[in-house]
Structure 1
Amino acid sequence: MALNKKPVKGMKDILPEEMQIRDYAISVIKETYGKFGFTSIETPCAESIANLTSKQGGDNEKLLFKVLKRGEKLDVAGAASEEDVVDFGLRYDLTVPLVRYYSAHSAQLPSPFKALQIGNVWRADNPQRGRYRQFMQCDIDILGEASNLAEIELILATTTTLGKLGFKGFEIRINDRRLLKAMAAYSGFPEEAYDSVFITLDKMDKIGPEGVKTELLENGFGESCVERYLELYQGLEKAEDGVAYLADMLKGVAETSVTDNLREIIDSVQATKTAGFEMVFDATLVRGMSYYTGTIFEIAIPEFGGSCGGGGRYDAMVGKFTGKEVPACGFSIGFERIIMLLLENGFQIPDRPKKIACLVEKGVEGQALCDVIAKAQAMRETGSQVLVVRMNKNKKFQKEQLMAEGYAEFEEFYKEGLRN
């Protein structure tokens, strides 16, 4: 029986055209983030199962690829539970590995520490457009900075990078988990039910206010709570300044520092941005990760119709490893979705080197072949990309294929006495 040529479900092979754009995007990302002071790091693709199931990753913990113990340690027949056969799993994001890394090496790292991570993660998710089971994430994080300078720098670095990749007219939507909790408290929801309320609120853009109301009532919440909650959002729609509106409505419930913080982030980014985007306060923005403790944000690109990245502040996570809390904030670009949009829009890599193909007839050997290679080496020294290949019998078709790969110039080399 023939072996299966297809990649496993939810994973994909990457052809040369896409790979070139991915490599270019990564080079822009690394160069731009480097200018903002971020340092590249790398963590293993697998983490301790205890770290990956520590209630830090929200629903992503349900999507874990778990790895069986190896060799003599694997005793399936004698196992009483999953714990007896599993000891680690593939990472579902880059944040938990980063915090473990920081917790282990903080004494050797500067403070604040500005980290850049680019790497694959794995989730046993339902594959769809722009969503895979293996996909690359691109994260920047600042650990050790308690002020909103961290949020401002993260947003500016991310948006500057997107601008250099040709994106414009997008939005950075911003909210604060503390504000979400204050709105729920103002409405009369019990604190233990906040997560349930936020899960429903997160569907606002799909099911609308009436759908949110129906679901909250179906979940057993009192009508007075639900009505008061939705009245806040109705008021937001009419307000010229949503942050100022909530600062006024939630006096005595939300600390004024929360809305002041949001206002300063929005105003500072708007005043200093270099890319074509807008900061938008969105009081329905939830972000699914349970580890967020403060500011949260998300990238919305119109042509995708959904989130193309996001992040926020997670000040409590380092303490789970060390017992001592360290302020932390991060932003992740939805790398696969960005690449998908670049490909769909026919993106062309700027300032590509000249691509020259040297076609060498069969029989060109010895010193003659060395002369061809020497000429190719000389052209490479001038910055050209030079391919040396044997000439096919169907030279016309070969050239068409090479032109499709971007080769615009051709040099042909024949045996002695054979010329065009």
Structure 2
Amino acid sequence: MYTTLPPTGMRDFLPREKAVREFVMSEIRDEYKKSGFTEIETSYLENIDNLTGGDGGENTKLIFKIMQRGEKLEKLLAGDAIHADDLADYGLRFDLTLPLVRFYANNRNELPSIFKAIQMGPVFRAERAQKGRYRSFAQCDIDIIGDESNLAEIEIIQTISSTLKRLGFGEFTIKISDRRILKAIVISSGFSEEVFGDVAITLDKLDKIGIEGIRKELNAKNYDTAAIELLLEKSAELESQGLEGIKEMCPEGYDNLKDILDVIGGLADTFKIVFDHTLVRGMGYYTSTIFEITYSDLGYSIAGGGRYDKMIGKISGIDVPAVGFSIGFERIVDILISEERQLNNAQKIALLFDDQKSISEVVTAATKLRQEYDIVSLYRMKKKLGKQLTQLDRAAYTGYGIFRSADEAIEVKPFEKNE
């Protein structure tokens, strides 16, 4: 049965929405390039082993898998023992980091020793569809590959900050931590290194379920009660002591963060940067620095990322330092649309004419107007002019003109805006 609706979790975009999306994408791309990042494009499809064999965290459970085809599929279906995982050979990418890692491993000899990459495009996750959660959404990433120093983090954080300010998000907070710090806290509390990842996933929920929720979940996993209580005690101490509280426990993490906080803190004007030891980030491939950005009273971050020094080595066999940051494009667009912000000053004009006029003269007049205005679009004038003008106003035209003759100047009138 045919339907006019897009598949569940997917979206179509009206002209106004598409215009906002293109504007935001253009602004982000331009600001990224100002800091020396260069744009690449990677495949939407990835080999299923690449998608499932990494440290994508919960995202590996949300892969859109593509079934094998033709003889291969028939041979599998004819077998006695068949597993659902065997039916797929490709999948849609769930983020832009894994494709970048594969891209770099494949093209390393043709890239500079320190590679500053831009990736912008759709990713796909088989989420449970609900408001604000989509199965296809855009990401806007920058990554620096090949620089092991925290200059990479500083440059990326500065670039993301200037991008958000350019988009009108000046008063934001950058939360920063180091996974080595969290690991030191967890292990010193009596947990084994093997369960660190599982404990970290629970701690990542602190802002959602609180201390009691963390205690309850860790107890439900049958971890040692004394270790749980010591972990929560250490966490509370760091909450009051701040960065200085981890100087002796994790000196490498302390030195790394102090450098970044000092430099970015000196650049902060409308925004601020703070140490948050409870920050985890969901991806298991992060090795040290992690960060995310919150804005206003929203219950979610609008950007996030971190360092992943071991990920390239899993594909190429040679570890290469890397760090990346991604702006939450969809969340930025949703905020701009909901707040009805004025995004640009483009002059978009509708030139109206009636059927009695020469099309050649009308087109010539429109061509001349385009030398003065950004956009000029032709429309045949309707009998109900008032209704037509209302529709043009809703379509984001800033003004209109009526072609009367080739010898008569066209008066462009602005649409009146109700304040």
TM-score (norm 2): 0.92
Q: Does 1:120 align with 2:122?
A: yes
Q: Once superposed, what is the RMSD of the aligned Cα atoms? A: 1.7
1:29 aligns with 28
Moved more, 398-407 or 131-140: 398-407
- 1:132-281 matches, within 5 Å, as 132-239=134-241, 242-248=242-248, 250=249, 254=250, 256-273=251-268, 276-281=270-275
Structure 2 distance, partners of 1:70, 1:52, is 19
Cα contact 1:171–1:279 (8 A) shared by 2: yes
Structure 2 distance, partners of 1:332, 1:150, is 14
Cα contact 1:304–1:341 (8 A) shared by 2: no
Identity over aligned residues, as a percent?
Answer: 46
Cα displacement string for residues 328-370 of structure 1 (whole angstroms, at most 9, x for unaligned residues):
0000011001100111111111322x22111121243xxx211
1:316 aligns with 310
Q: How many residues align?
A: 403
Cα displacement string for residues 12-50 of structure 1 (whole angstroms, at most 9, x for unaligned residues):
111111111111111111111101110011001100001
Amino acid of the structure 1 residue aligned with 2:288: G
Cα contact 2:202–2:217 (8 A) shared by 1: yes
**Post-superposition shift, 1:246?**
1.7
2:286 aligns with 292
**Post-superposition shift, 1:260?**
0.8
**Post-superposition shift, 1:165?**
0.3
Cα contact 1:173–1:280 (8 A) shared by 2: yes
Cα displacement string for residues 255-305 of structure 1 (whole angstroms, at most 9, x for unaligned residues):
x121111111111111124x6211111111111111111101111112422
Q: Does 1:359 align with 2:352?
A: yes
Structure 2 unaligned segments of length 5 or more: list them.
407-419
2:415 aligns with none
Structure 1 distance, partners of 2:219, 2:318, is 40
Q: Does 1:372 align with 2:337?
A: no
User: Which stretches of structure 1, 4 residues or more, deviate above 4 A after TM superposition?
Assistant: none
Is the alpha carbon distance of 1:84 and 1:227 closer, same or farther for their aligned partners in structure 2, counting shifts above 3 Å? Answer: closer
Q: Does 1:347 align with 2:337?
A: no
Amino acid of the structure 1 residue aligned with 2:369: M
Moved more, 144-153 or 377-386: 377-386
**Post-superposition shift, 1:67?**
0.7
Amino acid of the structure 2 residue aligned with 1:26: M
Q: Does 1:413 align with 2:411?
A: no
Cα displacement string for residues 63-107 of structure 1 (whole angstroms, at most 9, x for unaligned residues):
000011233433263252335431100000000000000111111
Moved more, 302-311 or 181-190: 302-311
1:20 aligns with 19
Structure 2 distance, partners of 1:157, 1:359, is 44
Cα contact 1:372–1:413 (8 A) shared by 2: yes
Structure 2 distance, partners of 1:405, 1:301, is 30
Cα contact 2:348–2:373 (8 A) shared by 1: no
2:379 aligns with 389
Cα displacement string for residues 183-230 of structure 1 (whole angstroms, at most 9, x for unaligned residues):
011101011111121121111112211221222222212222112111
Aligned residue for 1:77, secondary structure, equals helix
